[in-house]
Structures are given as C-alpha cells and as structure tokens.
Amino acid sequence: MRNALLFVVFFTFLGLWTWKLLEPSPVPEAINEAIPFDLKFIASKIAHVGGYTFLTLLAAWLPLNRRQFWVVVGLLALHGVASEVLQHVMGWGRTGKATDVLIDWFGIALGLLALRVFSRSRDPKGSA
C-alpha cells in the first residue's frame, strides 16, 4: 500500500508540473500583472530548477532499484525536452526554449547532487 502511495504522489506532482508547463497562462492574471517583468523571468527559471529538483528527489523515494531510478531520471530529462517542444508546437503563446531544457537538466543535476550529499552525510563511515 505504501509503495502504491509513493507512486501516486510522484505521478500527481509530475502531472501537475506538466499541466503548469503546458498551460497557456500558468500564473493567474492578477498575480502576473503585479510582478515586474524581470522578477517574472527570474521566478520562472527558479520554478524550472525547483520543479525538476523536487521531482528528482521524489523519484529517490520510489521503491526502485538503482537501474530503475536512473531510467526515471532519464525520463525526467526527456520530460524537460518534451515540455519545451510541446510549448512551441501548441502555439498558445508559450515558446519552447533550449535554455529552459538546460535549466531543467540543471534542476535534475541539483537533485542528484543533493541526494549524493545527503547519502554521504548519513554514511557512518564517512567514505567517499
């Protein structure tokens, strides 16, 4: 039961993230108008990094072996590409950007780094 719940949580967050990435107006208009353009740009890039970092960390909680975990990480990397391609193709005023894919991948790398650091800090031997 716990394993199923972990998958439900992961796929729920992945689904919500996909929806917001593909939605024509991911930020409510009242909020969007109140935020300066420069801050919107920075916030959107932080959201890209944070979203993929969070999903990578969530993937580590899934009951998967090492190989399966790396498959999920690879699928997250492909998700970053696919979401940008779909933004471009859907023509809803959103533009897919290669730089956003790189930012998404940076978020995945940051999640992997956090997992690595956390696993080392929990290692009683302190081995590298």
pLDDT of residue 38: 85
pLDDT of residue 104: 97
Mean pLDDT by 10 residues, the chain (128 residues): 94 96 85 86 93 98 97 98 92 83 98 93 61
Q: Rg of the chain's alpha carbons, rounded to an integer? A: 17
Torsion sign across C-alpha atoms 98, 48, 60, 117: positive
DSSP 124: T
pLDDT of residue 92: 74
